[in-house]
Amino acid sequence: MILGLFTTITAIAGSTHGKVFQHLSELPLDLMTFDFIVSGGGTGGSVIASRLSENKAFNVLLIEAGPDTADQLGLSIPGWGLGKGTENPSQFIWNYESVPQEGWNGRKAGIPRGRGLGGSSAVNGMVYTRGSKDDYDNWARVTGDPGWSWNALRPYIRRSERWTPPAGGRNATGEYDPAVHGYMGRVETSLPWDGHLEHDIRTIRNAEIQKAEFPLVLDGNAGRSIGVTWMQSTIGNGTRSSAATAYLGDPVRKRGNLAILLNTQVLRVHPVVSSVRRLDIRTVEVISSDGGTAVKFTAKKELVLSGGVIGTPHILLNSGIGNRTELESLGVASILDLPDIGKGITEHVAANLVWDTVPLNTTTIDQDLAYAMWQQNRTGPLTATFTHQILWSKIPSSSTLFKEWKDPSTGTTSPHLELPLDAAQNAYLALLTPYSRGSLRLASSNPLLPPLIDLGLLTHPFDMAAIKEGVRIMKRFYSGPAWEGYITGFRGPDPDVLSNEEFEKRIRDNAITFYHPVGGSAMSKRGEKRGVVDGELKVKGVRGLRIVDASVFPYVLTAHTQAPVYILAERAADLILTSWGG
């Protein structure tokens, strides 16, 4: 691979837009001009490329490191996921790993990210949760831009969503609020295909008995989820709805003003003219994912980075944008000192809790029959993922915890904890509001080597204390008459039985993450030194460069993170179009 050799393209108009190019060599380099270049065809990048190319006046190039995902049966069938029915599954995943985590007794955390059109939305667990009103209202405070508040974002929430009936068309009245959904948007969402199972029925009964603490909430996506909610997924007609299928379907791919370049990795970004006082960064340096010569493309108007929480900070650091001292110590020439790049990464950490139950009547799914059902009418067990209900819980403000630490929650509508209610025998309690922060830095000056990622999991004492409090809350949930004849005991780890030391060891030895890392290019107020992008998602101190992906989140929301990326990207597309009179 010859990284030193470039072909520089300041492209001119041509007739070859409107194609999906499988390889860099297929792109007719001398025939193309792009107003916008989007780097990373994942959740955020697919939205941006799709929305910008709705305007026929703009030519758009979308560059994605991985392959197409639309034709992969395994990725389409919710019950299969990555594996069965997927060609060479590893090609669809960046299999990152953290450095040894001090708060996990030295264990490393797996950090998978989607690689391919649709990015993580094409490989994720399809849970559809938007987060709380306060999560977004706080974005507005952090950026000084009221356009990021929940109320201002409502049109973008609706624009991103297309609510559909559950697979098979069962009546789901009472399990969601029709008033809070979008019906004309892009990403299909729905409730599970089958009706209420025993655990669901007991939860509903429990909600009557323990109404004050664990009420049944009609719709967890109405801005306040605290209580038990029905699980909504990015599934339509029994099939995964990803950013690729929702935003880059056939009619979009046929647009004459959109080119999609697959299997091509962005290495760095570069200033267009190095001598101007304010950096004008609109050039990307790319290489085919199978090697070869590096090539540069320059956007006429803007370059949008959508490489995700790892990809985007990694590209910026490789480009010499980041902490100057750290970069120069690795031999990377600094072009802009932006110390917060790669800093402040947050992730949902989850503790494994085990309850004993009576032997449950579980029927083994006949996989051939299930596949036949899916093929015939897109219904049956393969249309579903893993749970029907989620418990969202708030640690009471009277808790002694908040005498020692300021409550990190964004407000009264934000829960602190989440317990997906699929299997009490092997449950995972997630802390949604961690104080711990991680970071990402370069391992070397070679842009093809993965960065060093430290998620900082369980390094802040609040997080362990909050999990301890959370376990007590969950013990209360699974107690009382609704669970008689079902739950027979709590196997722990139980903070009321174990010593502090034993409890913490059990948590640190067995914790997992929910695959929701965010941050590393956080948004903040324009003019504020802290942060990486302003409220318009423009990189500070630079012209021509924006970031649209989960790396701009200033903290992890009280939600699984794909819906927030869709919401962010829908507004970002509007901001970009407005800047250019589109």
Specify binding-site residues for FAD. 124-127, 266
Q: Which amino acid is at 299?
A: A
Asked if 306 touches ligand FAD (CB under 6 A), the answer is: yes
If the CB atoms of residues 49 and 266 are measured against ligand FAD, the closer one turns out to be 266
* Residue of 181, 199, 270, 560 marked catalytic: 560
Cα 522–chain centre separation = 14
Closer residue to ligand FAD, CB minimum distance, 311 or 492: 311
Question: Footprint of ligand FAD on residues 177-216 (CB under 6 A)?
Answer: none
554 binds ligand FAD (CB under 6 A): no
Cα–Cα dist 134/196, whole Å: 31
Least Å distance, CB 415 to ligand FAD, is 15
Q: Nearer to ligand FAD by C-beta: 308 or 470? A: 308
Q: Mark the segment that binds ligand FAD (CB under 6 A) among 187-195, 337-345, 504-512, 556-564.
A: 556-564
For residues 465 to 494, the per-residue mask of contacts with ligand FAD, x marking binding by CB under 6 A and - elsewhere, is ------------------------------
CB 75 within 8 A of CB 69: yes
Looking from the CA of 238 toward its CB, the CA atoms found within 13 Å total: 21
- Residue closer to ligand FAD, measured from CB, 127 or 465: 127
Counted residue by residue, the chain has a size of: 582
Let me know if 560 is a catalytic residue: yes
* CB nearer ligand FAD, residue 93 or residue 401: 93
Could you say whether residue 565 binds ligand FAD (CB under 6 A)?
Answer: yes
Instruction: Tell me: does residue 562 bind ligand FAD (CB under 6 A).
Output: yes
Q: Which of 307, 344, 493, 544 binds ligand FAD (CB under 6 A)?
A: 307
Residues in Cβ contact with 344 at an 8 Å cutoff, skipping those fewer than 6 apart: 437, 439, 519, 520, 522, 554, 555
Instruction: Mark the segment that binds ligand FAD (CB under 6 A) among 107-115, 185-193, 416-424, 466-474.
Output: 107-115
Structure tokens at 190: 């729905």
Check if the beta carbon of residue 115 is closer than 8 Å to that of residue 93: yes
H or E stretch at 356:
strand 349-357
CA distances from 492 to 202, 350, 387, 426 (A): 21, 14, 21, 10
Q: Which residue is nearest to ligand FAD (CB)?
A: 42
Find, among 435, 429, 379, the residue nearest to 404 by Cα: 435
Rounded to a whole number of angstroms, the minimum distance from the CB of residue 479 to ligand FAD is 29
**Complex with ligand FAD: residue 235 or 471, whichever CB lies closer:** 235
Decide whether 114 or 182 has the Cβ nearer to ligand FAD. 114
What residues are designated binding site? Answer: 124-127, 266
Give the count of beta carbons closer than 10 Å to the beta carbon of residue 66.
Answer: 25
Cβ nearer to ligand FAD, comparing 381 with 492: 381
Task: Give the H or E element holding residue 545.
Answer: strand 545-547
Name the residue type at position 362.
Answer: T
φ, ψ for residue 200 (rounded to 5)? Answer: -65, -45
Binding to ligand FAD (CB under 6 A): which residues in 117-146?
119-121, 123-127
- Judged by CB under 6 A, the residue of 17, 113, 301, 546 near ligand FAD is 113
| Token output for 542 | 């630079």
Q: In whole angstroms, what is the distance from residue 550 CA to residue 565 CA?
A: 6
| Stretch of residues binding ligand FAD (CB under 6 A), selected from 139-147, 164-172, 305-313, 452-460 | 305-313
Candidates 17-25, 106-114, 164-172, 436-444: pick the segment binding ligand FAD (CB under 6 A): 106-114
- CA 178, CA 173: separation in Å to the nearest integer? 9
Q: Which of residues 308, 342, 520, 535 is near ligand FAD by CB under 6 A?
A: 308
Using the rule CB under 6 A, is 311 a contact of ligand FAD?
A: yes
Prior bond to 493 cis, omega within 30?
Answer: yes
For residue 314, indicate whether it is catalytic: no
Question: Please, what is the minimum distance in Å from the beta carbon of residue 327 to ligand FAD?
Answer: 17
Q: Give yes or no for residue 260 binding ligand FAD (CB under 6 A).
A: no
Residue 44 binds ligand FAD (CB under 6 A): yes
Q: Is 563 in the site for ligand FAD (CB under 6 A)?
A: yes
Nearest in space to 36 (alpha carbons), one of 24, 53, 23 = 53
Residue 353 pairs in a beta bridge with 427
Tokens representing residue 437 in the block: 């922060």
Q: Which run of H or E residues covers position 468?
A: helix 461-477
d(CA 36, CA 52): 8
Q: How far is CA 176 from the centre of its chain?
A: 23
187 forms beta bridges with 161
Taking CB under 6 A as the rule, does residue 66 contact ligand FAD?
yes
Of 212-220, 248-256, 303-311, 480-488, which segment contacts ligand FAD by CB under 6 A?
Answer: 303-311
The residue annotated as part of the active site, out of 17, 348, 416, 516, is 516
In angstroms, how far is CA 44 from the centroid of its own chain?
A: 9
By three-state DSSP, how is residue 418 classified? strand
- The stretch near ligand FAD (CB under 6 A) out of 42-50, 268-276, 345-353, 519-527 is 42-50
Q: Which of 132, 190, 239, 265 binds ligand FAD (CB under 6 A)?
A: 265
- Please report, as a single letter, which amino acid is at residue 114: G
| Closest approach of ligand FAD to the CB of residue 517, in Å | 8
Give, to the nearest 10 degrees, the angle between helix 150-160 and helix 133-143: 120
266 binds ligand FAD (CB under 6 A): yes
β-pairing, 279-288 vs 542-543, is parallel
Of 561, 570, 572, 573, the residue at the interface with ligand FAD (CB under 6 A) is: 561
Q: Which residues are catalytic?
A: 516, 560
- The binding site for ligand FAD (CB under 6 A) comprises 39-45, 63-66, 112-116, 119-121, 123-127, 265-266, 306-309, 311, 315, 515-516, 549-550, 560-563, 565
